[in-house]
């Protein structure tokens, strides 16, 4: 996951594990990007990771 985020110039600033069930996890990543124009590219990169699904993307309103 980190390499895909880095591929679009993203910087992971926080990770929160929200849920773990039957070997699966729901994680929240706080990522700084170089601009809103990179959001779709980031989503596409994450979809390339086996088993990864993007549930939501929202702008950060606070810093971690």
pLDDT surpassing 70 at residue 64:
no
Q: What is the pLDDT of residues 2-20, one digit of tens each?
A: 999 999 999 999 999 999 9
The candidate with the shortest Cα–Cα distance to 32, out of 6, 4, 3, 1, is 6
Q: Which residue has better confidence, 17 or 62? A: 17
Residues 21-31 have pLDDT tens digits of: 998 999 999 99
Both structure tokens of 15: 């990770």
Residue 42: which residues within 8 A CB-CB, separation 6 or more? 4, 5, 8, 10, 31, 33, 57
Q: In percent, how much of the chain has pLDDT > 70?
A: 95
């Amino acid at each position: 996951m980190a390499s895909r985020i880095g591929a679009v110039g993203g910087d992971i600033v926080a990770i929160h594990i929200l849920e773990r069930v039957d070997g699966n996890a729901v994680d929240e990543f706080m990522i700084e990007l170089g601009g809103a124009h990179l959001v779709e590219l980031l989503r596409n990169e994450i979809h390339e990771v086996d088993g990864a699904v993007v549930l939501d993307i929202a702008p950060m309103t606070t810093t971690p």
